[in-house]
Amino acid sequence: MPQLLSNQLITDYMESFLPFEESEKKLIEARFKQHKVKRRQLILREGYPCKHYSFVVKGCFRMYGMDSKGTQHNIQFAAENDSPAARWIADIGSFHSGKASKLSIEAIEPGIILQIERQDLYFLYLNIPKLDRIFKVIIENKFVELQNRVLQNISSTSQERYLTFLEQYPNLALRLPNTQIASYLGITPEFLSKIRKDISVEGKIQQ
């Protein structure tokens, strides 16, 4: 995809929150850089600082951490066809602090992303205050999602967590392999298959 079209996508996205002047759009577009990403390519590696906020133009990405046994645990997905907040992916703490990240971000599919560095984002905050408000809304939405996920892990069944996943990422259920979804839910792929089968049977009974 040409850089110009990708840049237009980011300003169109921003205008889904608030209108912008043409001069403001040009400032925004000039600060984002487009990158093509191969399948399984890392755009953030554990042990390195997160230097970019990434907006998904095309493709699907996951952010994950690894435990002491080497098992990967998916924290977040980002894809082009999901909710507005779900199109962004970054280790926010590492991005703002400059400290090494304990997470990695990997492309599940070949994709295209627009990335902005911290100093460029801060420049936009200073020169376009409404953009600061938009990113606060995005981060607040992410925080609410995280709170809800913690509560679900405490009090919800695996099936309930899967149904919530379908609500949060409505276009990813058929796009992601069972292993990736199961990692996000904290269950085995085999148990996820059982949950899907049970839901299918329950749906047929209700009909």
- Three-state secondary-structure class, residue 127: helix
What is the model's pLDDT at position 143? 87
Q: How many domains does the chain have?
A: 1
Chain mean pLDDT for the chain = 90
Average pLDDT over residues 73-100: 89
- Residue range 45-69: average pLDDT? 96
Is 65 domain-assigned? yes
Q: Does the model's pTM come out above 0.85?
A: yes
- More confidently predicted of 7 and 127: 127
DSSP 46-93: TTSB--EEEEEEESEEEEEEE-TTS-EEEEEEEETTS-GGGGEE--HH
Whichever domain contains 37, its CATH number is 2.60.120.10
Given strand 104-107, what is the order of strands in its sheet?
A: 42-44, 104-107, 60-66, 72-79
Has residue 33 got a pLDDT over 90?
Answer: yes
Question: Does 183 fall in a domain?
Answer: no
Asked if residue 159 is part of any domain, the answer here is no
User: What is the Cα–Cα distance from 149 to 132, expressed in whole angstroms?
Assistant: 26
Mean per-residue pLDDT for 57-86?
A: 89
Q: Which long-range contacts link 151-157 to residues 24+ away (Cβ below 8 Å)? A: 153/186
